[in-house]
Amino acid sequence: MPAPERIPPGSMTVLDLLTKGELTVRGQVREASNAVLYCSVAYEDQEAACVYKPIAGERPLWDFPDGTLAQREVAAYALSEATGWGLVPPTVLRDGPYGEGMCQLWIEADPEASLLALVEDEEPSDGWKAVGLAQVAEDRTALLVHADDPDLRRLAVLDAVINNGDRKGGHLLPAPDGRLYAIDHGVTFHVDDKLRTLLWGWAGEPLPDEAAEVLSRLEAELADGMPLATRLAQLLTAAEIDAVRARVTRLRATGRHPEPSGEWPAIPWPPV
């Protein structure tokens, strides 16, 4: 879809634009399971492309309360910002043409970037991490690998904290400027273990020192009365916030990337 001229992501100006600007629907992302509308948002002399997901367009899920996916998307942005990694595009909760919903800056992905691959080798080559074998034909399998990339590794940590139940390849957006963004965080923050991801390449490995420092800071910022905890309380239940705290504490205690629990499918389907 052609995008209007965008202002640089990551500043308060972007959040103001997303919150206060006039939303105009330009099209629909039809591959999505919920209503996802491609829009332009304009305020004063600025304009940007964005995604608007109205709560009214959310399909009910058996394991998540109805009408809460937009709030979880905004909570994922708040948590991402608290890490300092900036992995989730600016995201707000606001009213729109079809009622309240999530509004997120549109990120145009670099079509030449490659973060996932299927290879015929038994082991990944340098610069890649193995996820597992994938059935590519009735009588043939291939090794699914992802890039051994610092931003992807940060995202794996973030997903463990927010308990992301749907980290697919299509949710990874490498931007032309080299930054990595991640989208579609509606099925996050469940109190039960729901982690499903393609980023298992570091499972069981020690966390990088940087991640350990971020988790230590998050633990402090999730304390009652702190700005992050206050913001999450506007979007999630008390039990869900307690579960976030428990996941952060557990990651700090183990000092390792989590491994599949075996109680829940580890890989999302479809994977892309």
- Quick one: which H or E segment has residue 182? strand 180-182
Q: Residue 272 and residue 69: Cα distance in Å, rounded?
A: 20
User: First-to-last CA distance in the chain?
Assistant: 20
Separation in Å, CA 21 to CA 8, 44, 71, 80, 161: 16, 8, 19, 23, 31
> What was the pLDDT predicted at 269?
74
Task: Determine what percent of the chain is predicted with pLDDT higher than 90.
Answer: 76
183 within 8 A of 254, measured Cβ to Cβ:
no
Distance of alpha carbon 113 from alpha carbon 244, whole angstroms: 32
Q: Is 132 left (phi over 0), alpha (psi -120 to 50) or beta?
A: left
Q: What is the pLDDT of residues 17-49, one digit of tens each?
A: 999 999 999 999 888 788 999 999 999 888 999
pTM reported for the whole predicted model: 0.93
Q: What is the pLDDT of residue 6?
A: 53
- Those residues of the chain that have pLDDT short of 50 are 2-5, 9-12
Query: What is d(CA 164, CA 118) in angstroms, rounded to the nearest whole number?
Result: 23
Query: What is the per-residue pLDDT for 30?
Result: 83
Q: Over the Cα atoms of the chain, what is R_g?
A: 18
* 56-77 pLDDT tens trace: 999 999 999 999 999 999 999 9
**Burial code of 35-49, b = ≥16 C-beta within 10 A, e = fewer?**
bbbbbbbbeeebbbb
- Exposure of 19 by Cβ count < 10 A (0-12 exposed, 13-18 middle, 19+ buried)? middle
